[in-house]
């Protein structure tokens, strides 16, 4: 039995924001986020740009911006982590592969920053040997040790971040967007690093907006929608007609993949200040019914799968997979399902919403990502 490493329980992250005059509001970016990772498991969290993925990573490491409010529990091996615990474990048992190479100190040689502070010459020698061993493994020659970050190519910088994270033999690695901007060969190389970590029993939280990367390496995939995890599915569920996927948004993401006919879901993902009072997917959901307009569905725990949708309340996973597809079987009358073509938007938009979002951007003809364009509204 693989040991549970990380539990994120009902985590919310918000920022105090000034609206008109001196009025303030608490802008929630992540709401009620629950997920877990065991040894030797890769869990991908798939979310749009700006949806709070890096904030989740930073919350685990205790490096959120000062103006962020964090609620909920983050546990490592069953113990709730205090800020001190996070600082103590960080770079040791748990390691962050940051999204940006800006995390590298521009004025420090690569080897020195990978090794970090040491207490004695002996410890430094030991760490230097280990750093060289890992750097060799990731195809980073000795010349890299004396380079500064600006001298590295994108692929080299990514490998430096991965090897630096592995220097401490972490049990849990959080990788924040490790693939964007990399060529296909480097993407494959990076994904292979995660496969190797998994084989070594490391738990990996892979934070990404790249569906292909997630499907290639993850065991389970958590889908973010408007700052909520709306489904945690097994990788095998993303196959066939997507019939094993539960949430209508996850199904539509799967259908939007080029191999599945490019059926893009209408509308866009409300974020932050725009989120409706009820289910965050209400405005786009063909299965919605009255209750969905005013009540937020909880994340239902179906064992290895989790789903946030009223449709599945009170059902076991067996009930769900035996269900024959008609709305009646799930307690929703056909007459209550919605023809979105003829519906006006029922979105409740809060005042002074600072951003708007475009969802599901298709990149090229072979990859699709959940993406958002963030605009200032000028208010």
Binding site for Mg ion (CB under 5 A): 53-54, 99
Residues 65/17, Cβ–Cβ less than 8 Å: no
Q: Is 224 in the site for ligand SF4 (CB under 6 A)?
A: no
Nearer to ligand SF4, 256 or 279 (CB): 279
Residues 243/320, Cβ–Cβ less than 8 Å: no
Which has the closest alpha carbon to 26: 71, 72, 73?
71
Residues 271/358, Cβ–Cβ less than 8 Å: no
Instruction: Name residues contacting ligand ATP, limited to 198-237 (CB under 6 A).
Output: 209
Q: Is 245 in the site for ligand SF4 (CB under 6 A)?
A: no
- Name which position in 32, 177, 216, 283 contacts ligand ATP (CB under 6 A): 177
Tell me the C-alpha distance between 43 and 205, whole Å. 5
Nearest approach, Cβ of residue 108 and ligand ATP (Å): 24
Q: Is 281 in the site for ligand SF4 (CB under 6 A)?
A: yes
Kindly tell me the number of DSSP H helices and DSSP E strands found in the chain. Answer: 10, 14
Q: Is 310 in the site for ligand SF4 (CB under 6 A)?
A: yes
Tell me the C-alpha distance between 54 and 352, whole Å. 24
How does 11-38 read in b/e, with b if 16+ C-beta sit within 10 Å?
bbbbbeeebeeeeeeebbbbbbbbbbbb
Q: Is 292 in the site for ligand SF4 (CB under 6 A)?
A: yes
Q: What SS3 state is found at 158?
A: helix
Nearest approach, Cβ of residue 284 and ligand SF4 (Å): 8
Q: Is 49 in the site for ligand ATP (CB under 6 A)?
A: yes
- Name which position in 218, 285, 300, 330 contacts ligand SF4 (CB under 6 A): 285
Which one of 67-75, 116-124, 175-183, 282-290 is the stretch in contact with ligand SF4 (CB under 6 A)?
282-290
Type and span of the H or E element at 122: helix 121-137
Beta strands in 2-125 (DSSP E): 4-18, 24-38, 42-46, 68-76, 79-80, 94-97
Instruction: Name residues contacting ligand ATP, limited to 84-123 (CB under 6 A).
Output: 99
Q: Is 251 in the site for ligand SF4 (CB under 6 A)?
A: no
- Name which position in 12, 36, 45, 52 contacts ligand ATP (CB under 6 A): 52
Instruction: Say how many residues touch ligand ATP, by CB under 6 A.
Output: 16
Say how many Å lie between the first and final Cα of the chain, rounded: 54
Residues forming the site for ligand SF4 (CB under 6 A): 248, 279, 281-282, 285, 287-288, 292, 297, 309-311
């Amino acid at each position: 039995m693989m040991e549970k490493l990380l539990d994120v329980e009902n985590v919310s992250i918000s920022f105090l924001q000034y609206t008109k005059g001196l009025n303030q509001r608490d802008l929630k970016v992540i709401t009620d986020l629950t997920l877990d990772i065991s040894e030797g498991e890769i869990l991908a969290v798939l979310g749009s740009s700006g949806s709070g993925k890096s904030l989740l990573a930073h919350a685990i490491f205790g490096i959120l911006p000062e103006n962020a409010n964090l609620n909920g529990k983050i546990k490592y091996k069953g113990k709730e982590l205090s800020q001190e615990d996070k600082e103590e474990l960080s770079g040791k048992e748990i390691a962050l592969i940051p999204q940006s190479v800006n995390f590298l100190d521009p004025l420090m040689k690569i080897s020195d920053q990978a090794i970090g502070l040491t207490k004695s010459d002996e410890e430094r020698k030991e760490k230097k040997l280990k750093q060289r061993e890992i750097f060799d493994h990731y195809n980073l020659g000795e010349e890299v040790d004396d380079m500064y970050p600006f001298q590295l190519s994108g692929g080299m910088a990514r490998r430096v971040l991965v090897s630096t994270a592995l220097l401490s033999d972490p049990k849990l690695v959080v990788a924040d967007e490790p693939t964007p901007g990399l060529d296909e060969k480097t993407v494959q190389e990076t994904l292979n690093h995660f496969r190797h970590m998994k084989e070594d029993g490391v738990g990996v939280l892979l934070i990404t907006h790249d569906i292909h990367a997630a499907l290639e390496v993850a065991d389970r995939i958590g889908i973010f929608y408007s700052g909520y995890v709306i489904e945690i599915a097994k990788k095998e569920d993303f196959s066939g007609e997507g019939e094993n996927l539960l949430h209508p948004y996850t199904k539509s993401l799967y259908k939007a993949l080029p191999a599945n006919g490019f059926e893009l879901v209408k509308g866009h993902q409300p974020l932050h200040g725009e989120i409706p009072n009820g289910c965050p997917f209400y405005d786009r959901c063909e299965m919605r019914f009255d209750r969905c307009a005013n009540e937020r569905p909880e994340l239902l725990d179906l064992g290895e799968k989790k789903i946030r949708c009223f449709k599945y309340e009170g059902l076991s996973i067996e009930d769900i997979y035996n269900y024959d597809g008609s709305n009646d079987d799930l307690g929703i009358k056909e007459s209550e399902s919605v023809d979105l073509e003829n519906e006006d938007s029922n979105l409740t938009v809060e005042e002074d919403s600072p951003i708007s979002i475009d969802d599901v951007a298709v990149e090229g003809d072979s990859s699709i990502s959940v993406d958002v364009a963030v605009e200032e509204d000028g208010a």
